[in-house]
Amino acid sequence: MALKASIAVGTVATLLNGVICGSMFWVSTVTVPTLMDIASRQEDRLTLTVFQAWWPKGRRVMTRLIPITVVANLAASACYRPDRQSRISCNWMNWIGSAMYVASIGLWTVVKMIEGTVTTLAEADPEKEEHEVTDDDEEISHVVERFCQLHHPRLAFAAGAFGLSLYTILASLLTDEWLDLVSKKR
């Protein structure tokens, strides 16, 4: 019974890690190039309008999804606790590592991205004629470029979390205990 629960909780954590990884992949491969394309045309009003419509929606999803996923990974870690006499008990640290990767996405966003890029773009007035929005008269296109460059480590964190959890859940499924469980049902 404990093995079934640990695999179920681990599967949920892996699926949530996959959702975050897919989201970050979409941003890196679709949204970032779109923002860069608009910014490279020096269409500041359009750039700001698109960013200001997109960012709050992404923030709303991620500020809910990241904590839920961290908790799911920690719950999976608890199911794979080291006091169990099992070959899969060594995997509990993988779930903690996966939770740390996911938490790093949020931390990276807050520490590296919010102050210098997100706040600047989110608070700029798209209707303003002058589009030098920072204290040092930095142009919108440069702020967007920096935002886009700073986004990619979030994809690396998400891929690390998903890869580690996928490895861990597959390793759990391929243990002798799971094979014994399946063979008993036949």
CB 6 within 8 A of CB 171: no
C-beta neighbour count of 185 within 10 angstroms: 5
Tell me the pLDDT of the chain (186 aa) as tens digits.
Answer: 466 778 889 999 999 999 999 999 999 999 999 999 998 888 888 888 898 999 999 999 999 999 999 999 999 998 876 655 455 555 788 999 999 999 999 999 999 888 778 888 888 777 775 555 544 445 888 888 999 999 999 999 999 999 999 998 888 777 756 666 666 665
In order, the DSSP letters of 11-39 are: HHHHHHHHHHHHHHHHIIIIIHHHHHHHH
